[in-house]
Structure 1
Amino acid sequence: MKRPLVIAGDRAALLCIDLQEEHRQDRRLLAVGFDAVVANARRLQDAARLAAIPVHHFAYVVDAAVSLPHHPRLPDGRSAFSDKDDPLTAICPEVAPVDGEQLVVKSEASAFGTGLGDALKAEGVEWLLVCGVWTEACVDATVKAALKLGFRVVLVKDACGSGSVAMHQTGVLNLANRIYGGAVVDTAGACRLMAGETVPAWQPDRPVPIRYGYEDAATVYAWL
Structure 2
Amino acid sequence: MTAKSEFHVPFSLPLAGTVVLPIDLQEEHRRDPRYLVHGYDRVLANAAAVIGAARANGVRVCHAGFRRDFSVAPPRPFEPLGPDGEPAFSDPDNPDVAICPEVAPLPGEDVLWKNDLSCFSEAAFPPMLSGPEWLVICGVWAEACVAATIRDAVARGIRVLLVKDAVGSGTEEMSQTAVINLANRLYGGAVCDTATAVALLGGAEETVWRLTGSTPLRFRAADIGAVFGTL
Where does residue 4 of structure 2 map in the other structure?
A: none
Task: In structure 1, give the amino acid aligned to 2:182.
Answer: L
Q: How far off its partner does 1:68 sit?
A: 1.5
Are 1:21 and 2:30 an aligned pair? no
Q: Does residue 44 of structure 1 match 2:53?
A: no
Of Structure 1 and Structure 2, the greater helix share is in 1
1:92-125 Cα deviation digits (max 9, x unpaired): 01111001112211010001112322432xx341
User: Is the contact between residue 117 and residue 146 of structure 1 (CA under 8 Å) also seen in structure 2?
Assistant: no
1:155-184 CA distances to partner (integer Å, 9 max, x unpaired)? 001110000111100000000101111100
Cα distance in structure 2, aligned partners of 1:110 and 1:124: 17
Question: Counterparts of 1:5-84 in structure 2 under 5 Å?
Answer: 5-64=11-70, 66-84=74-92
Letter in 2 for 1:75: P
- Matched with 2:128 is 119
* Aligned length in residues: 222
CA deviation after TM superposition for structure 1 residue 74, in Å = 1.4
Q: Which runs of 5+ in 1 are unaligned?
A: none
Q: Is the 8 A contact 2:64 2:113 kept in 1?
A: yes
> How far, CA to CA, are the matches of 1:119 and 1:84 in structure 2?
22
Superposition TM-score, scaled by structure 1 size: 0.96
Displacement after TM superposition at 1:70 (Å) = 2.2
Deviations 1:126-150 (A, max 9, x none): 0110000000000000100000000
Answer yes or no: is 1:172 the counterpart of 2:172: no
Counterpart for residue 93 of structure 1:
101
Identity of aligned residues (%): 46
Cα distance between partner residues in 1 of 2:11 and 2:66: 31
Tell me how far apart the structure 2 counterparts of residues 39 and 118 of structure 1 sit (CA, whole Å).
29
Q: Distance between the aligned counterparts of 2:142 and 2:159, measured in 1?
A: 18
**Contact 1:64–1:77 (CA under 8 A) maintained in structure 2:** no
Q: What is the TM-score with the length of structure 2 in the denominator?
A: 0.93
Structure 2: stretches of 5+ with no match in the other structure: 1-6
SS of equivalent residue, structure 2 residue 150: helix
Structure 1 residue ranges, 4+ long, deviating more than 6 angstroms after superposition = none
Answer with 195-204 or 11-20: which moved more: 195-204
Contact kept? 2:110, 2:128, Cα under 8 Å:
no
User: Root-mean-square deviation (CA), in Å?
Assistant: 1.1
